[in-house]
């Protein structure tokens, strides 16, 4: 993305986001939690088709759709990880949704580093205090709203991947809704 800064249309970027969301919906539907969703783990072909990869941290959840996978030890990618996963090591489809919001931000900012030069500790404290990443330059308001929805503090308030896919499908079918930019 960094090599192509500004070269894609918003609708192309939304198509990429839709592909990622679709892959995550499939994983979630199959009862898996990825735990390391980030732009660096997305494969993109010449047609801009995106595939989720790097399942090194992924785990199977219980049959319960509200299940969470709890882990002890091991490094976690702080900038992409939901607060409950950082604090209590509780990973779920909802924590993957948080990470997806960060991936959206990475895509719309053409690969900027989330939280820029902040230390991991400052990222954790800022999020706890309610800070959320601002909209990247040129980002439609509807996409930033979806990011903010993914970054809800309460994991049960975050969108499911099926909802994310449906929302992005609506944007793709009605691209005029993408013209309103965040002030």
Report DSSP state, residue 181: B
Q: Which of 5, 29, 36, 54 is catalytic?
A: 36
How far, in Å, CA of 21 to CA of 15, rounded? 10
DSSP per-residue codes, 84-131: HHHHH-EE-HHHHHHHHHHHHHHHHTTSPPTTTT--HHHHHHHHHTT-
Tokens representing 70 are 């709890």
User: Is the distance from CB of 95 to CB of 127 less than 8 angstroms?
Assistant: no
Give the integer Cα–Cα distance in Å for 150 and 157: 8
64 in active site? no
Residue numbers annotated as active site: 36
């Amino acid at each position: 993305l960094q090599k192509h800064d500004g070269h894609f249309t918003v609708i192309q970027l939304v198509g990429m986001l839709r592909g990622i969301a679709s892959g995550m919906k499939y994983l979630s539907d199959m009862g898996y939690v990825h735990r390391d969703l980030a732009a660096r783990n997305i494969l993109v072909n010449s047609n801009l088709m995106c595939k989720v990869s790097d399942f090194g941290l992924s785990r199977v959840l219980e049959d319960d759709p509200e299940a969470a996978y709890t882990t002890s030890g091991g490094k976690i990618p702080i900038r992409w990880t939901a607060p409950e996963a950082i604090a209590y090591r509780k990973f779920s489809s909802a924590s993957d949704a948080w990470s997806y919001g960060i991936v959206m931000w990475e895509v719309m900012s053409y690969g900027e580093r989330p939280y820029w030069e902040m230390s991991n500790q400052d990222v954790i404290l800022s999020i706890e205090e309610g800070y959320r990443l601002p909209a990247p330059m040129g980002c439609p308001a509807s996409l930033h709203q979806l990011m903010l929805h993914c970054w809800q503090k309460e994991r049960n308030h975050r969108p499911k991947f099926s909802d994310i896919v449906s929302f992005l499908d609506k944007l793709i079918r009605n691209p005029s809704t993408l013209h309103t930019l965040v002030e």
